[in-house]
C-alpha cells in the first residue's frame, strides 16, 4: 500500500485490578485510510482508544505507541489532542445551551486582547462547517440541532484543531439511516483531506462499506488484522473472529404456532405533547395473535416508540381516541400501572435511562414492576423476592455471581435479560419490546432472540420495534410498517426483504 | 477476616460509620475524664437530639426521592406554635392540641407536595418558599413572643420512663424491660431468618451476632437504667425508636418504600414500571412535614414553651445526618439505620465538644469538617474496585 | 489510599487545632474527677446551708457574643470566677435555644454547683433547668428573666422597667435641649421580642412618653406605638435600620424627625445612620449598653444618650451571690420579686446610669478602656 504508516501500537497491555483488559494488542494504521476496529462489548476496544488518547496516561500500561514515526508518551488527553489525535465519543459531549461556534471553540477560544474574538471564531466556524458539509447558522444553539448534525459539529470541532487522526466510537449508534449514510460519506471525504480515521463499530454493513482495513479484538487480544477493499468485506469472517465461533445463522430457527388474535388496537390516535395539533399516531390499527411475533418497522421519528408508549398506559403524548382489546375484551389503560395490571408489558429502547435503575441489584430489579407478586400480609416478602430473582436468573441464564449484585455490573446483554425477567414476572399477555437488542453484542443477541421465541411459544403476543431490518425479518412472523405516524402496510416476514420494507417505510402509498 | 465477614455480612464498609461513632464516644470519654459515657449524658444526648433525628428520618426519604426539604425547621416551629397557641387561647386539651398540630403539619406537607408533584416545581424551591412562609407564620401568630406549652407535653420532650417493680435490679425497670424486649426481638428475627434460609448457612455466626448485639444492648440498658433515681431511657428516645422501627419497615418492606427508591434512582424507569411518581413525591413530602410537626412538638415539650425562633437551622442538621449516613445527593440511596448512625455521630461530636468546653463557634467549624470528611471518605470508599477501610485493616489473604 | 490518608490526617489535624483552641483556662481539667463523683451521687437536693467546695465548677451559659456587653460578660466571668478560685465553664450558644439547652446539660454533666444563665429565650429552658435543679444545682438568671419554670433561684439584672423609664426621660431631656420648642416628631423602637426585658424597657419608656403623646408635646408620626409594631426581631440592627429606612421614606418626606426611642446602642446607631442617609439631621436618641462605638459617638455628639449597665457591676453581683452560696449562707435577700409564670422569683436589681456627653467622663472614671476613647 502506498500510504505510509501513521500509527503503530505495539504490545499494549493494560491491567485493571483483577482484569487484564488489554493483552499484547497490536495495531497499525496507514495515513489517510479508515481502520475499523470490531469486537464484542467488553472486548477492549474503548480501553485501547483510551490508552491511545492519553486518558490512561503513559506508564499505566505496557507497550509502545509510535505516532508519525516517533514514540509518544501522552500524559493526558490535552497532549494527544495537541498531537492531532481526537476522539468522538458515543455520547456526544456538547453543551446544549451554547451555540455551534461556542461549542467548537470551547476550551480553545481565540483570544484577542484578553477577550474572545467572536468574528474570527465565526469565520473559522463557517469554514470547518463547510468541510463537514453542514449548512447551519454558526449562532444556532446546539440543542436545536438533530443528533446527526450535532455529530457533524463534533467532527468540525476536531477539524478546527487540525486533527490528523480521528477516532469515532460507535458514531452511528444514535443516528437514523439517512444521517448514518451521510456520516459515512463524510468519513470517506476526510481521506482526501489527509485525515486518518479509526472507527469503532458493531455494524457490519457500515464496516463493510467504508473500511480500508479491519482489526478484530476479542477478550483484550488482537485476533486478526487485514486490509480490505471497501464494499468487499466478508461479514461472516468478522463475526467468526469476534465471537470466536462461527454463527451459521444469526437468527435461531423457530416455527411459530399463532393462535387466536389476543391483542387488538383500533383507531389509535395520539397528539404530540410539544406540538399541539400534530398527530404522532394517526388512526393506527393492528393486531397480534397469541404466540405470534409481530415487528414494527419505521424510520427514526416515524412514531413507532410513541405509538407503543401511548398504548402502554398513555405514557407518551396526549391520547385522543382509540380502543384496545385483550382477548376480545375492551380494556382502558389510563396509567402505566393499569396497563401492567391488564397484561401489557413494555421494554423501552433506552435501557440505561428508561429501563433500569442502575443503583438497584438484580434481585430488586426483577420484582420492581410487580411488587404485588411478593407481598405477604401487606409487607414485601424478601425471601420470596430472592426466590423469584433466582428463578429468572436461572431460566434466563443471566451471567452473574449472585442476584444481589448491582445491575450496573452486568453487560448489556445480561442487563436486557434482567429487564425481560422483570416484565415476565408481571405475567403479561402482550410484550412490547422496543429495540430489544440495541447495544448488545452478536453473541448475546442470539440468546435474546431465543428468549423472544420462547415467550411466543408460551402463548404471549410479542411486538418488536426495531431499526434493524434484518433482525425484524429474521425473527418475526409479520411486520407492520409506519411512516409519519401512520401504519402504511403489513407484510408476512417470509415475503419481506429490506428493499420492499424500506419502500413501505418511506411512503404512505400503502401496499 | 473471613470469620468477621461471616458475622457481619459481606458489606463491611457499611460499618465504617458505626466504628467512627464508637471511636468518637471512647475518645471523648477519655479526653473529658469519663464524662461522655455516663447515664445522664447518654440520656441528655437522646432527649436533646431526638427531634433532629425524627426530622432526619423524613429527610432521608426526601433525599432518596432526589429532593430536599429546606422548610422542616420552619414547619416544626410553626406546628409547635400552633399547638401552644391553640391550647393557651382556645383552651383545648393538650392532646387535642397535639393532634391539631400534627394535622397542621400534614396539611403543610400536602401543600408542599402539591407544588412539587402536581405543578412540578423543584422541591428545593417549593420548600425554600415554605421555609420563608412558615418562619414568617410562626413569628406572625406568636407576635414574636414565646408561648408557654402545656406541662403534660414535657414527657414527650424531656420525660423518663416510669419507675416500678422490685428495686433489687439496681436499675430502672422500664429501661430494663425495654432492653430485654430488644434483645429478644433481635434474637428472634435472626433465628427465624436463619431457619427460613435453609441454604447451608452455618448457625454459629448467627449466634455470635446475637451474643454481640445482646452485649451491646445490655450495656446500653445498664447505662440508661442506672442514672439518677427517677431517670431512665428518655421518652423522646422511645418515640424515636418506635419511629425508626416503623420507617425502617416502610422503607424496606413496603411497596411505597420501594417506590421511593425507584423514583429516586431513575424517575423515568420507575414511571415505566408502573410507579405513580407524582403520588410518591406527594406522600414523601407530606410525611416529611408530618414528622416535622412531631419534632416541633417534642422540642416544645423539652423547652416548656414554643418560641418564635424554634426550628432555625434544624433542616441543616437533619440534612447533615442523612449525608453522613451515606445517602447520595443525586437520590436513590440511603437507609434509615445509617441515617440514625449519622445523626448520632453529629450528636456525640456535639456533646463531646461541649463537655470539653469548646464553644459553639468552634463546634460549628469542627462539625463542618466532619461532614466533609465523612462524605469524602464515603465517596472514596464507593469508587469501584476499592476496598473499604475495614477491608484494608484486615487484608484478605484467604478468599 | 494516599489520598484517603492525607484527607484523614488533614481533617483530624484541623479538628485538633480548632478544638485545641478551646484549651484555655476555662476548660475543665480531667483531674477534677473528685467533684464529678460527688455530683454523681447527689444527696438530698440542695441543702443551701451546706455550701460546697471552694474550687467547685461554676457554669455560665450566655446567649451569644454578638454585642459588646455579652462579650465583656464572657471575659469577666472567666477571669473573675477563676480569680475567686472556682473552675469556670463559660459558653455561648450562638443565639440558638437547642444549643443552649445542650450546653446547660453538659454543665450539669461537668458537675457544676451553680449555673448562671443568660437565656437566649427566657421561657424555653424550663425542661433542662428542672433537670439541673433536680440534680441539686443552683440556677441564677443573668441579665434576663427566666420564665415559665420553677427551676430558678434568682435573677441578677438591671431593673428593666427603670431602664425604660430612664430611656424615655433621656429622650425628653434631649429633645428639649437640642430641638427647640415642641411638638416633636418621634418614632419608637423596641428590642427583640424573645427577650423578656424588651417589653419592659418599652413599657417603662412609655410610662414617661405616653402622657406627652396624649398632651401633644410629642407626635409619633407613623402611629406605630404598639410594642409588637416597634419590636426589632432578635435585636437585629439591620432589621431596625430597614424599618427606619421605610419609616423615613413613608412618613418623613416632608417632615423632620426629632427623636427616636432606641432600646439599645446598636439600634440607635442604625437609626442615626438611616436618618443621615435620608438627609435628616441627627435625631435625639436613647440607647443602652454604652458600647465603645457609642461612647465615641456620644463624645463626638452624634448620639445623644445611652444607658450604662456596667457589665462589671452585673458580673460582680452575680459572683457575690455565688460566693454566698458556696459559703453555705444561702441566697441573699432579693431586692424585689416578680412572677415568672410559675413562681415568684427573687430579683437582684441594679440601678442603671444615664450617660450623655455632659457626664460621660465621670461615668467611666473607673473604666480605663472607655476613658481611652474620650480623648
Grid coordinates of B3: 470469620
**Residue scoring higher pLDDT (B238 or A274):** B238
Q: Is the pLDDT of residue A424 over 80?
A: yes
Structure confidence at residue A406 (pLDDT): 87
- C25 belongs to a structural domain: no
Q: Is the pLDDT of residue C25 over 70?
A: no
Structure confidence at residue A292 (pLDDT): 94
The per-residue pLDDT for range A449-489, each reduced to its tens digit, is: 999 999 999 999 999 998 888 889 889 999 999 988 889 88
Q: Using CA atoms, how far apart are residues A29 and A22, in angstroms rounded to an integer?
A: 18
Structure confidence at residue C10 (pLDDT): 59
Select from C3, C97, C199 the Cβ nearest to the Cβ of B310: C97
Which residues lie closer than 8 Å to C192 by C-beta, 6 or more apart? Answer: B144, C198, C231, C232, C233, C234, C235, C236
Question: Greatest CA span in chain C, whole angstroms?
Answer: 81
Contact B312 C96 (CB under 8 A): yes
Grid coordinates of C210: 405616653
- C82 belongs to a structural domain: yes
Task: Indicate whether A238 and A373 sit together in one domain.
Answer: no
**Which residue of C24, C59, C98 is the best one to mutate when testing the B interface, meaning the one whose CB has the most B CBs within 10 A?**
C98
Residues of B in contact with A360 (CB under 8 A): 261-262, 265
Q: Say what percent of chain A tops pLDDT 70.
A: 95
In the structure, what pLDDT confidence band is assigned to residue B101 with cuts at 50, 70 and 90? Answer: very high
Q: Do chains B and A touch (3 or more CB pairs under 8 A)?
A: yes
- A43 belongs to a structural domain: yes
Task: Indicate whether C289 and C368 sit together in one domain.
Answer: yes
User: For chain A, how far is it from start to end, CA to CA, in angstroms?
Assistant: 49
Task: Indicate whether A328 and A464 sit together in one domain.
Answer: yes
Q: In the predicted model, what is the mean pLDDT of residues B218-224?
A: 90
Instruction: Show the domain range for C126.
Output: 51-152+311-350
Task: Indicate whether A192 and A89 sit together in one domain.
Answer: yes
Cβ contact B375:B321 at 8 Å: no
Task: Indicate whether C226 and C329 sit together in one domain.
Answer: no
Task: Indicate whether A331 and A435 sit together in one domain.
Answer: yes
In the structure, what pLDDT confidence band is assigned to residue B385 with cuts at 50, 70 and 90? Answer: very low
- C90 belongs to a structural domain: yes
Task: Indicate whether C278 and C206 sit together in one domain.
Answer: yes
Instruction: Show the domain range for A155.
Output: 5-243
Structure confidence at residue B359 (pLDDT): 76
Contact A383 B197 (CB under 8 A): yes
Strand ranges, E, within A228-343: 261-271, 279-289, 293-298, 318-326, 329-331
The per-residue pLDDT for range C256-301, each reduced to its tens digit, is: 999 999 999 999 999 999 999 888 999 999 999 888 889 999 998 8
Is the full-model pTM beyond 0.80?
no
B305-306/B147-148 β-pairing:
antiparallel
Angle at which helix A442-457 crosses helix A235-243, to 10 degrees, equals 90
Which range, of A26-40, A137-151, A222-236, B242-256, averages the lowest pLDDT? A222-236
Grid coordinates 485493616 are at which residue? B393
Q: In the predicted model, what is the mean pLDDT of residues C11-23?
A: 55
Q: Is the pLDDT of residue A19 over 50?
A: yes
Q: Using CA atoms, how far apart are residues B223 and B175, in angstroms rounded to an integer?
A: 10
Contact C18 B365 (CB under 8 A): yes
Average of per-residue pLDDT values in chain B: 87
Structure confidence at residue A136 (pLDDT): 86
Select from C26, C92, C123 the Cβ nearest to the Cβ of B148: C123
- C41 belongs to a structural domain: no
Structure confidence at residue B381 (pLDDT): 67
Closest CA to B245 of A373, A386, A379: A379
Structure confidence at residue C6 (pLDDT): 59
Select from C7, C18, C234 the Cβ nearest to the Cβ of B366: C18
In the structure, what pLDDT confidence band is assigned to residue C103 with cuts at 50, 70 and 90? Answer: very high
The per-residue pLDDT for range A110-141, each reduced to its tens digit, is: 888 888 888 888 888 998 888 888 888 888 88
Angstrom distances, CA of residue B182 to CA of B196, B220, B230, B241, C194? 21, 11, 22, 10, 43
Q: Using CA atoms, how far apart are residues A490 and A176, in angstroms rounded to an integer?
A: 22
- A255 belongs to a structural domain: no
In the structure, what pLDDT confidence band is assigned to residue C27 with cuts at 50, 70 and 90? Answer: very low
What does DSSP assign to residue A277? T
Domain count, chain A: 2
Secondary structure (3-state) at A461: strand
Structure confidence at residue B397 (pLDDT): 39
Task: Indicate whether C175 and C266 sit together in one domain.
Answer: yes
Q: In the predicted model, what is the mean pLDDT of residues A426-450?
A: 87
Q: Is the pLDDT of residue A440 over 90?
A: no
- A18 belongs to a structural domain: yes
Contact A337 B270 (CB under 8 A): no
Select from A348, A353, A371 the Cβ nearest to the Cβ of B255: A371
Grid coordinates 410629642 are at which residue? C218
Task: Indicate whether A385 and A424 sit together in one domain.
Answer: yes
In the structure, what pLDDT confidence band is assigned to residue C41 with cuts at 50, 70 and 90? Answer: very low
Structure confidence at residue A463 (pLDDT): 95
Q: Which residue of C has its CA nearest to B37?
A: C109
Q: In the predicted model, what is the mean pLDDT of residues B84-111?
A: 94
Task: Indicate whether A107 and A238 sit together in one domain.
Answer: yes
Q: Is the pLDDT of residue A286 over 50?
A: yes
In the structure, what pLDDT confidence band is assigned to residue A40 with cuts at 50, 70 and 90? Answer: confident
The per-residue pLDDT for range A43-61, each reduced to its tens digit, is: 788 788 888 888 888 888 8
Task: Indicate whether C291 and C174 sit together in one domain.
Answer: yes
Closest CA to B259 of A370, A249, A329, A504: A370
Backbone angles phi, psi at C112, to 5 degrees: -65, 145
Q: Say what percent of chain C tops pLDDT 90.
A: 50
Q: Which residue of B has its CA nearest to C112?
A: B355
Q: Using CA atoms, how far apart are residues A209 and A99, in angstroms rounded to an integer?
A: 33
Structure confidence at residue B328 (pLDDT): 85
Q: Using CA atoms, how far apart are residues A302 and A418, in angstroms rounded to an integer?
A: 29
Task: Indicate whether A146 and A212 sit together in one domain.
Answer: yes
Task: Indicate whether C266 and C320 sit together in one domain.
Answer: no
Torsion, Cα B219 B221 B226 B229, to 10 degrees, reads: 170
Q: Which of residues 10-49 of C touch B (CB under 8 A)?
A: 11, 14-15, 18-19, 21-22, 26-33, 36, 40, 42
Which range, of A130-134, B143-147, B212-216, C264-268, averages the lowest pLDDT? B143-147
Q: Is A32 left (phi over 0), alpha (psi -120 to 50) or beta?
A: left
- C135 belongs to a structural domain: yes
Could you give the domains of chain B?
41-159+254-393 (1.10.3470)
Q: Using CA atoms, how far apart are residues B57 and B55, in angstroms rounded to an integer?
A: 5
In the structure, what pLDDT confidence band is assigned to residue A501 with cuts at 50, 70 and 90? Answer: confident
Q: In the predicted model, what is the mean pLDDT of residues A443-450?
A: 86
Q: In the predicted model, what is the mean pLDDT of residues B245-257?
A: 94
Structure confidence at residue C26 (pLDDT): 39
Contact B258 A358 (CB under 8 A): no
Strand ranges, E, within chain B: 147-148, 305-306
The per-residue pLDDT for range C183-227, each reduced to its tens digit, is: 999 999 999 887 778 998 999 999 999 999 999 999 999 999 999
Task: Indicate whether C216 and C200 sit together in one domain.
Answer: yes
Strand order of the β-sheet with A34-38 is: A85-88, A165-169, A196-200, A34-38, A213-218, A221-227
Q: Using CA atoms, how far apart are residues A419 and A439, in angstroms rounded to an integer?
A: 14
Contact A354 B273 (CB under 8 A): no
Q: In the predicted model, what is the mean pLDDT of residues B71-79?
A: 96
Structure confidence at residue B115 (pLDDT): 96
Backbone angles phi, psi at B282, to 5 degrees: -60, -50
Q: Say what percent of chain A tops pLDDT 90.
A: 28
Structure confidence at residue B12 (pLDDT): 63
Q: Is the pLDDT of residue A247 over 70?
A: no
Task: Indicate whether C221 and C292 sit together in one domain.
Answer: yes
Closest CA to A92 of A140, A176, A148, A36: A148
Task: Indicate whether A299 and A213 sit together in one domain.
Answer: no
Q: Using CA atoms, how far apart are residues C306 and C272, in angstroms rounded to an integer?
A: 13
Which range, of A93-97, B84-88, C55-59, C75-79, averages the lowest pLDDT? A93-97
Task: Indicate whether A373 and A471 sit together in one domain.
Answer: yes
- C110 belongs to a structural domain: yes
**Residue scoring higher pLDDT (A428 or C341):** A428
- C10 belongs to a structural domain: no
Task: Indicate whether A271 and A192 sit together in one domain.
Answer: no
- A253 belongs to a structural domain: no
Q: In the predicted model, what is the mean pLDDT of residues A347-366?
A: 89
**Residue scoring higher pLDDT (A268 or B360):** A268
Task: Indicate whether A211 and A185 sit together in one domain.
Answer: yes
Grid coordinates of A443: 453473541
Q: In the predicted model, what is the mean pLDDT of residues C100-122?
A: 92
In the structure, what pLDDT confidence band is assigned to residue B329 with cuts at 50, 70 and 90? Answer: confident
Q: Which residue of A has its CA nearest to B198?
A: A383
Instruction: Give B191→chain A minimum CA distance, Å.
Output: 14
Grid coordinates 438484580 are at which residue? A362
Task: Indicate whether A287 and A430 sit together in one domain.
Answer: yes
Q: Which residue of B has its CA nearest to A309?
A: B272
Q: Which of residues 285-324 of B touch C (CB under 8 A)?
A: 299, 301-305, 307-310, 312-314
- A74 belongs to a structural domain: yes
B89 exposure class (CB count in 10 Å sphere: 0-12, 13-18, 19+): exposed
Quote the ipTM score: 0.83
Rounded to 5°, the CA angle A347-A353-A354 comes to 30
Q: Which residue of A has its CA nearest to B328?
A: A359
Structure confidence at residue C175 (pLDDT): 93
Instruction: Give A248→chain B minimum CA distance, Å.
Output: 36
Structure confidence at residue B198 (pLDDT): 63
Q: Which residue of A has its CA nearest to B266?
A: A357
Closest CA to B138 of C120, C233, C99, C94: C233
- A254 belongs to a structural domain: no
In the structure, what pLDDT confidence band is assigned to residue B262 with cuts at 50, 70 and 90? Answer: very high
Which residues lie closer than 8 Å to C13 by C-beta, 6 or more apart? Answer: none
Side-chain half-sphere CA neighbours of A469 within 13 A? 20
Task: Indicate whether C226 and C105 sit together in one domain.
Answer: no
Which residues lie closer than 8 Å to B367 by C-beta, 6 or more apart? Answer: B320, B346, B349, B350
Which residues lie closer than 8 Å to A108 by C-beta, 6 or more apart? Answer: A160, A161
**Domain CATH for C248:** 3.40.50.2300
Strand order of the β-sheet with A62-67 is: A19-30, A5-16, A62-67, A70-71
Chains contacting C (3+ CB pairs below 8 angstroms): B
Structure confidence at residue C23 (pLDDT): 40
In the structure, what pLDDT confidence band is assigned to residue A295 with cuts at 50, 70 and 90? Answer: very high
Grid coordinates 457544676 are at which residue? C112
Q: In the predicted model, what is the mean pLDDT of residues A2-12?
A: 86
Q: Is the pLDDT of residue C318 over 90?
A: yes
- A87 belongs to a structural domain: yes
Structure confidence at residue C46 (pLDDT): 45
What does DSSP assign to residue A407? G
Q: Is the pLDDT of residue C241 over 80?
A: yes
Strand partners, A297: A481
Helices (H) and strands (E) in chain C, counts: 14, 13
Q: Is the pLDDT of residue C13 over 80?
A: no
Stretch (H or E) spanning C133 = helix C126-134
Structure confidence at residue C17 (pLDDT): 59
A364 exposure class (CB count in 10 Å sphere: 0-12, 13-18, 19+): buried
**Domain CATH for A350:** 3.40.50.300
Domain boundary among A215, A243, A271: A243
Q: How many residues does chain C have?
A: 375
Q: What b-and-e string marks burial along A183-222, b requiring 16 or more CB atoms within 10 Å of the CB? A: bbebbeebbeeebbbbbbbbbbebbbbbbbbbbbbbebbb
The DSSP-derived string for B29-56 is HHHTTS-SSSHHHHHHHHHHHHHHHHHH
- A248 belongs to a structural domain: no
Structure confidence at residue C114 (pLDDT): 95
**Residue scoring higher pLDDT (C14 or B307):** B307
Domain count, chain C: 2
- C194 belongs to a structural domain: yes
Q: Is the pLDDT of residue C341 over 90?
A: no
The per-residue pLDDT for range A311-338, each reduced to its tens digit, is: 999 888 889 989 999 998 999 988 999 9
Q: In the predicted model, what is the mean pLDDT of residues C149-158?
A: 92
Amino acid at each position: 500500500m502506498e500510504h505510509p504508516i501513521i500509527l503503530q501500537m505495539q504490545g499494549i497491555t493494560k491491567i485493571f485490578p483483577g482484569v487484564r483488559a488489554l493483552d499484547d494488542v497490536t495495531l497499525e494504521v496507514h495515513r489517510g485510510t479508515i481502520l475499523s476496529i470490531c469486537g464484542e462489548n467488553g472486548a477492549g476496544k474503548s480501553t485501547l482508544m483510551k490508552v491511545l488518547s492519553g486518558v490512561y496516561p503513559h506508564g499505566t500500561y505496557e507497550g509502545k505507541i509510535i505516532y508519525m514515526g516517533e514514540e509518544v508518551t501522552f500524559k493526558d488527553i490535552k497532549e494527544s489532542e495537541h498531537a492531532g489525535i481526537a476522539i468522538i465519543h458515543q455520547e456526544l459531549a456538547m453543551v446544549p445551551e451554547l451555540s455551534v461556534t461556542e461549542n467548537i471553540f470551547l476550551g480553545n477560544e481565540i483570544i484577542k486582547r484578553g477577550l474572545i474574538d467572536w468574528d474570527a471564531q465565526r469565520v473559522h466556524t463557517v469554514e470547518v462547517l463547510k468541510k463537514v458539509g453542514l449548512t447551519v447558522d454558526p449562532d444556532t444553539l446546539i440543542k436545536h440541532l438533530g443528533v446527526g448534525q450535532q455529530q457533524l459539529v463534533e467532527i468540525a470541532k476536531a477539524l478546527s484543531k487540525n486533527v490528523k487522526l480521528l477516532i469515532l466510537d460507535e458514531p452511528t449508534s444514535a443516528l437514523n439511516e439517512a444521517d448514518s449514510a451521510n456520516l459515512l460519506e463524510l468519513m470517506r471525504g476526510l481521506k482526501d483531506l489527509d485525515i486518518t480515521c479509526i472507527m469503532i463499530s458493531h455494524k457490519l454493513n457500515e464496516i463493510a462499506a467504508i473500511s480500508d482495513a479491519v482489526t478484530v479484538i476479542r477478550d483484550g487480544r488482537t485476533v486478526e488484522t487485514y486490509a480490505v477493499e471497501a464494499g468487499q468485506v466478508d461479514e461472516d469472517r468478522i463475526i467468526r473472529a469476534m465471537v470466536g465461533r462461527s454463527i451459521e445463522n444469526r437468527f435461531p430457527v423457530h416455527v411459530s404456532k399463532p393462535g387466536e388474535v389476543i391483542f387488538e388496537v383500533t383507531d389509535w390516535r395520539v397528539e404530540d405533547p410539544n406540538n399541539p395539533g400534530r398527530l404522532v399516531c394517526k388512526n393506527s390499527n393492528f393486531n397480534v395473535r397469541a404466540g405470534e411475533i409481530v415487528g414494527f418497522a419505521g424510520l427514526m421519528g416515524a412514531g413507532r416508540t410513541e405509538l407503543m408508549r401511548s398504548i402502554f398506559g398513555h405514557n407518551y403524548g396526549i391520547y385522543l381516541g382509540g380502543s384496545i382489546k385483550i382477548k376480545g375484551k375492551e380494556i382502558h389503560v389510563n396509567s402505566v400501572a393499569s396497563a401492567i395490571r391488564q397484561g401489557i408489558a413494555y421494554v423501552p429502547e433506552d435501557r440505561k435511562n428508561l429501563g433500569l435503575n442502575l443503583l438497584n441489584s438484580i434481585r430488586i430489579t426483577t420484582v420492581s414492576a410487580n411488587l404485588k407478586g411478593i407481598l405477604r400480609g401487606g409487607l414485601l416478602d424478601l425471601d420470596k423476592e430472592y426466590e423469584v430473582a433466582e428463578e429468572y436468573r436461572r431460566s434466563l441464564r443471566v451471567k452473574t455471581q449472585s442476584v444481589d449484585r448491582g445491575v450496573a455490573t452486568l453487560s448489556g446483554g445480561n442487563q436486557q435479560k434482567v429487564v425481560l425477567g422483570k416484565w415476565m414476572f408481571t405475567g403479561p399477555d402482550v410484550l412490547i419490546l422496543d429495540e430489544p437488542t440495541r447495544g448488545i453484542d452478536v453473541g448475546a443477541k442470539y440468546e435474546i432472540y431465543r428468549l423472544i421465541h420462547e415467550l411466543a411459544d408460551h402463548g404471549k403476543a410479542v411486538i418488536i420495534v426495531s431499526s434493524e431490518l434484518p433482525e425484524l425479518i429474521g425473527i418475526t412472523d409479520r411486520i407492520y410498517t409506519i411512516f409519519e405516524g401512520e401504519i402504511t402496510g403489513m407484510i408476512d416476514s417470509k415475503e419481506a426483504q429490506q428493499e420492499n420494507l424500506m419502500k413501505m417505510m418511506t411512503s404512505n402509498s400503502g401496499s | 477476616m473471613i470469620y468477621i465477614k461471616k458475622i457481619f455480612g459481606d458489606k463491611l464498609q457499611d460499618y465504617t460509620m458505626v466504628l467512627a461513632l464508637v471511636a468518637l464516644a471512647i475518645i471523648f470519654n477519655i479526653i473529658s475524664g469519663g464524662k461522655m459515657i455516663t447515664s445522664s449524658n447518654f440520656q441528655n444526648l437522646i432527649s436533646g437530639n431526638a427531634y433532629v433525628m425524627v426530622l432526619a428520618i423524613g429527610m432521608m426519604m426526601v433525599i432518596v426521592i432526589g429532593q430536599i426539604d429546606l422548610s422542616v425547621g420552619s414547619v416544626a416551629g410553626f406546628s409547635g406554635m400552633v399547638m401552644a397557641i391553640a391550647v393557651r387561647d382556645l383552651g383545648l386539651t393538650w392532646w387535642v392540641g397535639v393532634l391539631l398540630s400534627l394535622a397542621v403539619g400534614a396539611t403543610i406537607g400536602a401543600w408542599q407536595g402539591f407544588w412539587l408533584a402536581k405543578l412540578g416545581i423543584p422541591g428545593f424551591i417549593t420548600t425554600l418558599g415554605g421555609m420563608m412562609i412558615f418562619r414568617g407564620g410562626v413569628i406572625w401568630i406568636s407576635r414574636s413572643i414565646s408561648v408557654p406549652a402545656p406541662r403534660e407535653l414535657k414527657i414527650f420532650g424531656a420525660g423518663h420512663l416510669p419507675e416500678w417493680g422490685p428495686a433489687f435490679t439496681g436499675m430502672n425497670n422500664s429501661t430494663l424491660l425495654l432492653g430485654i424486649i430488644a434483645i429478644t426481638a433481635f434474637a428472634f428475627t435472626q433465628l427465624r431468618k436463619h431457619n427460613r434460609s435453609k441454604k447451608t448457612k452455618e448457625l454459629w455466626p448467627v449466634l455470635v451476632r446475637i451474643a454481640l448485639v445482646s452485649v451491646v444492648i445490655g450495656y446500653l440498658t445498664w447505662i440508661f437504667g442506672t442514672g439518677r433515681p427517677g431517670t431512665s431511657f428518655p421518652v423522646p428516645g422511645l418515640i424515636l425508636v418506635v419511629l425508626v422501627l416503623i420507617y425502617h419497615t416502610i422503607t424496606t418492606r413496603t411497596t411505597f418504600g420501594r417506590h421511593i427508591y425507584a423514583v429516586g434512582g431513575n424517575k423515568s424507569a420507575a414511571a415505566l414500571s408502573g410507579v405513580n411518581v407524582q403520588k410518591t413525591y406527594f406522600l414523601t413530602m407530606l410525611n416529611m412535614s408530618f414528622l416535622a410537626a412531631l419534632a416541633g412538638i417534642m422540642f416544645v415539650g423539652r423547652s416548656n414553651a414554643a418560641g418564635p425562633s424554634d426550628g432555625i437551622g434544624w433542616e441543616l442538621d437533619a440534612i447533615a445526618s442523612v449525608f453522613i449516613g451515606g445517602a447520595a445527593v443525586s437520590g436513590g440511596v440511603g437507609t434509615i439505620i445509617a441515617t440514625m448512625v449519622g445523626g448520632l455521630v453529629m450528636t456525640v461530636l456535639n456533646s463531646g465538644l461541649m463537655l470539653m468546653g469548646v464553644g459553639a463557634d468552634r463546634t460549628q467549624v469542627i462539625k463542618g469538617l466532619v461532614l466533609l470528611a465523612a462524605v469524602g471518605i464515603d465517596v472514596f470508599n464507593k469508587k469501584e474496585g476499592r476496598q473499604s477501610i475495614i477491608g484494608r485493616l484486615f487484608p484478605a489473604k484467604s478468599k | 489510599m494516599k489520598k484517603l490518608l492525607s484527607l484523614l490526617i488533614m481533617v483530624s489535624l484541623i479538628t485538633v487545632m480548632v478544638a485545641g483552641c478551646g484549651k484555655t483556662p476555662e476548660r475543665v481539667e480531667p483531674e477534677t474527677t473528685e467533684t464529678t463523683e460527688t455530683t454523681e451521687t447527689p444527696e438530698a437536693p440542695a441543702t443551701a446551708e451546706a455550701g460546697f467546695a471552694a474550687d467547685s465548677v461554676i457554669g455560665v451559659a450566655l446567649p451569644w457574643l454578638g454585642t459588646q456587653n455579652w462579650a465583656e460578660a464572657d471575659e469577666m466571668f472567666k477571669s473573675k470566677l477563676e480569680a475567686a478560685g472556682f473552675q469556670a465553664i463559660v459558653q455561648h450558644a450562638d443565639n440558638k435555644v437547642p444549643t443552649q439547652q445542650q450546653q446547660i446539660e453538659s454543665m450539669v454533666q461537668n458537675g457544676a454547683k451553680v449555673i448562671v444563665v443568660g437565656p437566649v429565650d427566657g421561657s424555653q429552658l424550663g425542661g433542662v433547668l428542672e433537670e439541673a435543679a433536680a440534680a441539686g444545682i443552683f440556677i441564677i438568671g443573668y441579665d434576663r428573666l427566666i420564665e415559665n419554670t420553677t427551676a430558678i433561684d434568682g435573677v441578677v439584672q438591671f431593673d428593666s422597667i427603670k431602664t425604660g423609664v430612664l430611656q424615655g426621660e433621656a429622650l425628653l431631656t434631649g429633645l428639649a435641649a437640642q430641638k427647640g420648642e415642641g411638638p416633636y416628631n418621634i418614632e419608637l423602637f423596641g428590642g427583640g421580642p424573645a427577650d423578656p426585658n424588651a417589653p419592659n424597657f418599652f413599657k417603662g419608656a412609655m410610662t414617661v412618653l405616653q402622657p406627652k403623646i396624649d398632651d401633644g408635646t410629642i407626635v409619633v408620626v407613623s402611629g406605630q406605638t404598639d410594642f409588637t409594631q416597634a419590636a426589632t426581631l432578635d435585636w437585629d440592627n439591620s432589621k431596625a435600620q430597614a424599618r427606619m429606612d421605610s419609616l423615613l421614606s413613608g412618613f418623613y418626606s416632608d417632615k423632620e424627625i426629632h427623636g427616636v426611642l432606641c432600646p439599645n446602642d446598636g439600634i440607635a446607631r442604625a437609626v442615626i445612620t438611616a436618618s443621615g442617609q435620608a438627609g435628616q439631621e441627627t435625631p435625639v436618641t436613647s440607647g443602652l449598653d454604652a458600647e465603645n462605638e457609642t461612647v465615641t459617638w456620644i463624645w463626638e455628639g452624634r448620639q445623644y444618650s445611652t444607658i450604662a449597665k456596667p457589665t462589671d457591676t452585673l458580673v460582680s453581683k452575680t459572683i457575690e451571690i455565688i460566693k454566698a452560696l458556696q459559703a453555705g449562707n444561702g441566697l441573699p435577700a432579693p431586692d424585689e420579686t416578680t412572677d415568672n409564670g410559675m413562681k415568684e422569683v427573687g430579683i437582684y436589681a441594679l440601678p442603671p446610669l444615664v450617660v450623655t456627653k455632659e457626664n460621660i467622663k465621670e461615668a467611666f472614671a473607673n473604666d480605663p478602656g472607655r476613658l481611652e476613647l474620650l480623648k
